[in-house]
Structure 1
Amino acid sequence: MRVAAYVILPVSALVVLAGLLAPVPPSAASGGRGTEPVAGPGAARGFDQPARGFAPAGTVLRRATPAEAGLDPAPIDAFLRRLAGWTDPEHGVDYLFPGATALLAHDGAVVARKASGDAVRYTGQRELPPARRVPARTDTIYDLASLSKLFTTLVAVQQIEAGRLRLDVPVARYLPGFAAHGKGGITVKQLLVHTSGLPSDPRPPLWENSGGQQARREAILQARPFARPGATYRYSDLNLLSMQLVLEQVTGQRLDRLVREGITEPLRMRDTAYNPPAAWRPRIAATSYKVSPARGMLRGAVHDDNAWALGGVAGHAGVFSTVDDLAVLAQALLNGGTYQGRRILGRRAMAMLERNYTSRFPGDDHGLGFELDQAWYMGGLSSPRTLGHTGFTGTSLVIDPLSRSFAILLTNRVHPIDETTSINPARRALGQALARSIPVRAPGGGRSWSDGPSDGRGSEGRRSGRDGEGQDGGTLTTGPILAARARHAARKPRDPAGPSGARGPLRISYDAFMDIDDLDRFVLERSTDGGRNWRTVPGTERSGYHGRTWQRVRAQLPAGPYPAGLRLRWRYTTTPLSGGRGVNVAGVLVTDGTRVLFNSDCPDAPLTADSWQQLPPPWPLAHAAGLPPGGLPVSCPPGSGPHAAEPHMSTVPRPLRAPAGPMPAAPYRGSSTTGAGRRG
């Protein structure tokens, strides 16, 4: 914990503070086995407090409101309102899919579960009258498309654990026929991380092969690579189709049985299957109307034609499921491979899922089966450890071990035709909503401000523009820090502080939380001409991922003179496709060595927020001292502030030595606004 050097607490406050620092016993949810307490109602793990390791194995999903889980409900509520617009054709360019079901969870609490639109809206390519449509429900079953690859991967890792499969062994050792056309060096790992050199799809498509199932499987074995193994990354259905043949060879079982016995039955995922039975049809969302091949309107039959040609069971597609079943799977992975006492993977196997095997191909980070750190659909939940995948039918799953959260979006965006607009804005917005709802608390508990990226929808805010184009970000700007002192000094020519009113170089420090995209820019700037021109303060420019932790940024400026006053501003510049949660600023302190010239914790410190949000109290140190929220530090004497003739100038107090250990964060109280409001 950082304790500002200008805060003085009475002895009584230190007693209270020591009580706050007492050890916290493990939550009952962890069965007493976890090393970290599980957040209870009203107090959430901060986004700036990344978790270590897996969640306690005893974590079981429960329903809770965002507020009960200690989250800010506003970002989640805003997303749920937008979900309705994305399913409404009358919204024009904002219309993305006929129907959708979304689920958000944090630390074992399902904080949002919402359906919108229609599971069935069209017959052929004609829209049904409202009375004949089938509304989407929270238990609607969707065609997962490429999310099915995750099930194939989990079965593969189970076989690695069982000793039947090895990652670095050539596939041809298990399938001799796979060695055809120079593929003898491709390994199991290269199939699972898409570095095999195989093309994206079978050519010609498997459904055009009239020789039956055996001939279609032989066509997979006979596929020709386009590059040598390990030379390039290319996302490929052929990789997982080949993996299916390996798994069936080493186990002697069909893939659907392996998935059922190894995953869905142990986890009691009762609404998850290949080739769903007819009894499920009333709950299944329709997908495309297929003309070639002539399959008609699909509802309960796999959308992918190559999977259909294999009888609906394929390594790359074919699984149908609900948000609730996928939530159980996601929580099992967060728990280290177990749920309610039933284990599907060991913890060493789990580590293979989130290890980056493709670091030599920047931007295509990949664990076994799972994609890693893909901000283009993970949004604010993206990090080097975040796992996920998307599906062509309009599905996505994002699992963030650092915040112990996950986000699921299932849609039928291909209903009734495949050629639709990208739904990545909705995918990113889902991750951003959950990330922004998880609190970030200033290290000293004082006043703080935040700003985050847009989700790329031009009508939704200040950063409209073409995809990928840089946009002017929001700003947080101080009032003039030295102007009044300069005027006062001019009347006292013998003032040892000099004509600028400063006694030495200006030292600037502030706490910064940065979880932003590599293309974003976050910087402190200065102006000495009343805000007409701004220059970067050296050493303050930042971009990229910063481990979800606060940093103390320090900079120095000349003493002056500043006849028009010195102003500072923090500027965050992003693009419509940016990921990451955003930025926070707190604990701003400007001194000249002996005096505090500016202190952002002063209640009336002159700060103007353009698009930034000021996060409200509580202020833990102020509460411990018996002060009201926003209590006055000694460097904020009564009567000081932007309304006074003099700016904040008081002697820097002697630093307070804080007791060792982290300080429990106070419950989050929501947010208020003080200013105006990669692919896909």
Structure 2
Amino acid sequence: MRSTRESAVILADHVRSWAEAGRVVGAELMVLEDGELVVHEASGWSDRERGRELEKNSLYRVRSMTKPLVATAIFKLAEAAELDLDDTVARHLPAWDNPRSGAVTLRQLLHQVGGFEQSAWPQPLARYRSLRAAVDAMGEHGPQHPPGSTYRYSDIGSATLGAIIAERTGEPAERILSEWICEPLEMRDSHFHFEVDAPWAARVNSTYRWTVASGRGVGGFERYWDPSRAQVVPFFRAAGGMYCSIRDYARFLELWLGLGEWKGRRLISEASARAALEPGPFGRYGMSWDLPTTARAGQLPWAFGHGGSDGTAALVVPERRLIALYFTQSRGRDLMYCFAMRAGDAFELPGPMPKWTELARETELELVSLDAAQRRAIVGTYEFGGPDKRLEVFEVEGGVLQTWLRGEEVQLVPLSDRRFALGWHRGGAGVELRCDDDVRLVFGLAGGQAELMEIRREEDVLATGTRVCRGSRG
């Protein structure tokens, strides 16, 4: 087996090559073994247009990597007998006390089995005046599936837990995370609300998204946010919203590697930490932690971690006392999945992390050019299971192929003449569209969502039980 140093150098070479090749605008890598720094590198740009190079320990929007901090605060409240993980949300938030939402429990939200789809807010989150207003509206609206019946990764769970933290403590959730977690862990570069005039604002990296420039498959990153602009959602979202350095997040991971203890100080009990690292009802997600497919109840997983939709990712391997973090603000090419795959190869880990390796080999393919005839062969409306269920693929100016996902136009990036990947869209879910010899299209939601539709021109059969639908071209 390679030494940790040898493995970290191999991983660093991969990350550096992505920045040099323009596959990310910039990236930072940190690897620690038993609390000692092994590798720490930064490559590429913090703001490409302004010629600002990426610096070590600059600040990132870590998005969903906020969720484990929210869970940690919930565990502290449970240990203080302020709540029980098996409480219904309705016990703490009256707006949830109705037939639609009354059965949802805190434990279900932690395990992502509360029944909520991603981005299922009754209206865009930015339109609400506060986190509590958004969560109350969601409680009145109710989940899309019976609570506990299915795994669905959704921001609504952690947002609701954030509102419960505020309700039980009488303080904003972000203040509790700062006082209960960041201050004891000396996470001085961690923040939960952005203001353009904040003294730390200039250290925040600009954020980029991958877009398709033409139907020839030419794509690139465009800057869609920089620290001269206010954040879109005017309040702390709890499912995301944290800004921090890679070193700060490493400290938080050290707490969890220590099963709730950091430098002799215990923040949560070992029992809480071990429970959080056990798989949930559908075996793929702990309590706000991604787990390997081999995770089993009653034992520590060989690895755990989490990712964020702007490209950040972290991996912890308890047996080897290993922490690896990959931070970028280049959204849309899913290289955090490639990071998980390359980390597994470099450190010779025993298996995949489920959500993190699904698209890894796909995103390492080169883009291709499609001619007009190839594009015309794909354009059309596909029915599956009836006229109310349709997938439309259309061509816009410049030869760009697009489809619709959750009410948004989504660009399709050609990886071959038969396989496509998502360019970018605000919802953050991945899309795969494949075309084989019989013009079957496969349209799936990545990021752990169990949706897959196979669509054939010559068939009109709706399969049941497997969530696979076949239909005809309209």
TM range (shorter): 0.5 to 0.7
**Does 101-110 or 274-283 show the bigger shift?**
274-283
Matches within 5 A, 1:548-567: none
- Name 1:509's counterpart in structure 2: none
- Name 2:370's counterpart in structure 1: none
- The 3-state SS of whatever aligns with 1:110 is strand
Distance change (3 Å), C-alpha of 1:398 and 1:301: farther
Q: Does the CA-based 8 Å contact 2:194-2:230 persist in structure 1?
A: no
* Equivalent position amino acid for 2:313 in 1: S
Matched, 1:81 2:81: no
The partner residue of 1:232 within 135, 150, 153 is 150
Matches within 5 A, 1:575-590: none
- Name 2:81's counterpart in structure 1: 163
> Residue deviations 1:342-361, cap 9 Å, x none?
22112111112212222xx2
Q: Does the CA-based 8 Å contact 2:312-2:336 persist in structure 1?
A: no
Q: CA deviation at 1:457?
A: 5.5
Matched, 1:243 2:161: yes
Q: CA deviation at 1:107?
A: 2.1
* Equivalent position amino acid for 2:268 in 1: L
Alpha-carbon separation, structure 2, partners of 1:424 and 1:154: 25
> Residue deviations 1:470-496, cap 9 Å, x none?
xxxxxxxxxxxxxxxxxxxxxxxxxxx
> Residue deviations 1:208-262, cap 9 Å, x none?
6366666434323223212111111100111111111111111111111110111
The partner residue of 1:318 within 241, 246, 258 is 241
Distance change (3 Å), C-alpha of 1:432 and 1:106: farther
The partner residue of 1:424 within 313, 321, 337 is 337
* Equivalent position amino acid for 2:109 in 1: L
Matches within 5 A, 1:400-439: 400-414=317-331, 419-435=332-348
Alpha-carbon separation, structure 1, partners of 2:184 and 2:363: 46
The partner residue of 1:351 within 263, 274, 293 is 274
Alpha-carbon separation, structure 2, partners of 1:459 and 1:180: 44
Q: CA deviation at 1:203?
A: 3.2
Matches within 5 A, 1:457-476: none
Between structure 1 and structure 2, the one with the greater Rg is 1
- Name 1:98's counterpart in structure 2: 25
Matches within 5 A, 1:206-605: 206-207=124-125, 209=127, 215-276=133-194, 278-288=198-208, 297-299=225-227, 305=232, 308-309=233-234, 311=235, 313-358=236-281, 361-362=282-283, 365-373=284-292, 384-414=301-331, 419-435=332-348
- The 3-state SS of whatever aligns with 2:238 is coil
Q: CA deviation at 1:458?
A: 8.9
Alpha-carbon separation, structure 2, partners of 1:101 and 1:180: 46
Q: CA deviation at 1:374?
A: 5.8
Q: Does the CA-based 8 Å contact 2:31-2:37 persist in structure 1?
A: yes
- Name 1:180's counterpart in structure 2: 98
* Equivalent position amino acid for 1:371 in 2: D
* Equivalent position amino acid for 1:99 in 2: G
- The 3-state SS of whatever aligns with 1:116 is strand
Instruction: Show structure 1 runs of 5+ residues with no match.
Output: 1-46, 48-69, 122-127, 290-294, 438-452, 467-677
- The 3-state SS of whatever aligns with 2:340 is helix
Alpha-carbon separation, structure 2, partners of 1:435 and 1:347: 28
- Name 1:518's counterpart in structure 2: none
Alpha-carbon separation, structure 1, partners of 2:275 and 2:227: 35
Alpha-carbon separation, structure 2, partners of 1:335 and 1:208: 37
Alpha-carbon separation, structure 2, partners of 1:197 and 1:403: 36
* Equivalent position amino acid for 2:339 in 1: A
Q: CA deviation at 1:76?
A: 2.3
Q: Does the CA-based 8 Å contact 1:141-1:284 persist in structure 2?
A: yes
> Residue deviations 1:645-679, cap 9 Å, x none?
xxxxxxxxxxxxxxxxxxxxxxxxxxxxxxxxx96
* Equivalent position amino acid for 2:312 in 1: T
- The 3-state SS of whatever aligns with 1:138 is coil
Alpha-carbon separation, structure 1, partners of 2:169 and 2:240: 20
Q: Does the CA-based 8 Å contact 2:16-2:43 persist in structure 1?
A: yes
Instruction: Show structure 2 runs of 5+ residues with no match.
Output: 210-222, 351-356, 368-444, 448-474
* Equivalent position amino acid for 2:304 in 1: L
Alpha-carbon separation, structure 1, partners of 2:124 and 2:113: 22
- Name 1:134's counterpart in structure 2: 52
- The 3-state SS of whatever aligns with 2:46 is strand
> Residue deviations 1:18-45, cap 9 Å, x none?
xxxxxxxxxxxxxxxxxxxxxxxxxxxx
Q: CA deviation at 1:109?
A: 2.1
* Equivalent position amino acid for 1:387 in 2: F
Q: CA deviation at 1:72?
A: 5.4
Alpha-carbon separation, structure 1, partners of 2:189 and 2:128: 33
- The 3-state SS of whatever aligns with 2:200 is helix
Alpha-carbon separation, structure 2, partners of 1:215 and 1:118: 38
Distance change (3 Å), C-alpha of 1:71 and 1:197: same
- Name 1:107's counterpart in structure 2: 34
* Equivalent position amino acid for 1:155 in 2: A
- Name 2:421's counterpart in structure 1: none
Higher relative contact order (CA 8 A, sep 6+): 1
**Does 342-351 or 226-235 show the bigger shift?**
342-351
Count of residue pairs the alignment pairs up: 345
Distance change (3 Å), C-alpha of 1:372 and 1:138: same
Q: Does the CA-based 8 Å contact 2:334-2:360 persist in structure 1?
A: no
Q: CA deviation at 1:147?
A: 0.2
Distance change (3 Å), C-alpha of 1:200 and 1:275: same
Q: Does the CA-based 8 Å contact 2:314-2:324 persist in structure 1?
A: yes
* Equivalent position amino acid for 1:390 in 2: G
Distance change (3 Å), C-alpha of 1:86 and 1:322: same
Distance change (3 Å), C-alpha of 1:458 and 1:397: closer
* Equivalent position amino acid for 1:405 in 2: L
Q: Does the CA-based 8 Å contact 2:100-2:141 persist in structure 1?
A: no
